[in-house]
Structure 1
Amino acid sequence: MSWFTASHIEWLAVILATIATFVVGFAWYHPRTLGPLWMRLVGLTEEEVRTAPPLRFVATGVVAFVTAIVLNVLMVELSVLSVGGGALFGAFLAFVMRAGNQVIHHGFELRPHTLTLVNGGHDIVALAVAGAIIGAFV
C-alpha cells in the first residue's frame, strides 16, 4: 500500500475537515432547518436526540476523522489539488459512496425517500466542505 502513507496527510486540514463536517451536521439537522423533518422521518423526539449517549458522537467523530484522512490521501494521489476540485471530488465521493449506500439500505428498509434525500444531501454537502478544506492545504 505505497499510496497510503502518512507523508501525504495534511493533519491540520484533516482536523479542520473533521470539525467542518460536524458544523455542517449541526446546521443541517438543527431544529430550525431540517432537524424536525429528519426527527419525524426517523421517529425520534427532540428530547431523545438531545439526550443521546455521548459514545454515538465519539463514534461519529472517529468515522469523520478517518474519512477526512482517506479523502486527503485520495486527493493527493489523484492530483485534486484545489479548493474547487476538492469540493467537487468530496461531493462526488459522497454522492456515489455514502448517498448511494443510503439509497440501497433505505430502499430495502422501506424508509421514506425524503429521509434518503435529507441524509444523502447532508453527506454530499459535508464531504464537499471537507474536500474544499483539504484542497486548500494540499
Structure 2
Amino acid sequence: MNVNFLALIVAALSSLVTGFIWYNPKVFGNAWMKETGIVHDESKKPNMVKIFGMTIVYAFFIAFILQMLVIHQFGALGMIGGDPTKALPSYASFMADYGTNFRTFKHGALHGSMTGLFFCLPILGVGALYENRSFKYTMIVGGYWVVTCAIMGGIICAWQ
C-alpha cells in the first residue's frame, strides 16, 4: 500500500476551500469573528501567505493520518509490519481479494466525519474550555473540522 501524496495534497487544499465557504460572512464568518473577538481592521492586515501556507502544511499532516483511518487496507499493512515484500503469501492473497473494498468517497467521508466528531471536536472543545470560549465558538470551529475531515477523508479514500 503506497502513500498517495497527490491525494493528500488535494485533500489538504480542500481544507482551504471548505474554510473559504465556512468562514464566509454569509455563513459562519461573522458569528465566528464575534465569538473570537476579532475586529476587521484594514490597518492591521494579517500575513495571509503565512496563514494559508501553514494551513496547507497542517492540513497535510491531518490528511497523512486520515489515510490510515479511512483506508482499511492500511490496517492489513500494519499487521505485517509495514513491508509487503516481507509478508507471507496470505497478505498478497488478501490484498488481491479485498484491496479495493470500501475505497469510495462515501466511505472515506464517513470515517473522516467520525474522526472530526470524535477526535478533532473534543480536542478543540477542551482547548475552548480552558480559553474560556463559548459553546457557539466550539460548534463553529468544531463543525468546520468535522466537515473538513469528511471531505478530506472522502478524497483520500476514493483516490486510488
| Common fold: TM-score over 0.5 | yes
Aligned 8 A contact 2:16 2:55 in 1: no
How far has the Cα of 1:115 moved from its partner? Answer: 0.1
Question: Percentage identity across aligned positions?
Answer: 29
* Counterpart contact for 1:91–1:125, Cα < 8 Å: yes
CA distance in structure 2 between the partners assigned to 1:34 and 1:90 by the alignment: 21
**In the superposition, relative to structure 1, how do residues 80 and 62 fare at CA in structure 2: closer, same or farther (>3 Å)?**
farther
| Structure-2 separation of matches of 1:19 and 1:94 | 17
Larger radius of gyration: 2
- Other-structure match for 2:86: none
In the other structure, the counterpart of 2:158 is 136
- For structure 2, the residue ranges without an aligned partner over 5 or more in a row are 76-100
Contact kept in structure 2, 1:72 and 1:134, CA below 8 Å: yes
TM-score (normalizing by structure 1): 0.85
Unaligned segments of structure 1, at least 5 residues: 1-6
Q: Is the 8 A contact 2:15 2:152 kept in 1?
A: yes
Structure 1 residues 24 and 100, CA, compared in 2 at 3 Å: closer, same or farther?
same
Matched, 1:47 2:69: no
Runs of 4+ in 1 over 2 A off after TM superposition: 73-76, 78-81
Q: What secondary structure sits across from 1:33 in the alignment?
A: helix
1:19 is aligned to 2:16: no
How many residue pairs match? The answer is 131
Contact 1:10–1:72 (Cα < 8 Å) also in 2: no
1:33 and 2:55 correspond? no
Cα distance change of structure 1 residues 62 and 80 upon mapping to structure 2, 3 Å threshold = farther
**Of 100, 113, 128, which residue of structure 2 is paired with 1:91?**
113
Please report the TM-score for the alignment, with normalisation by the length of structure 2.
Answer: 0.74
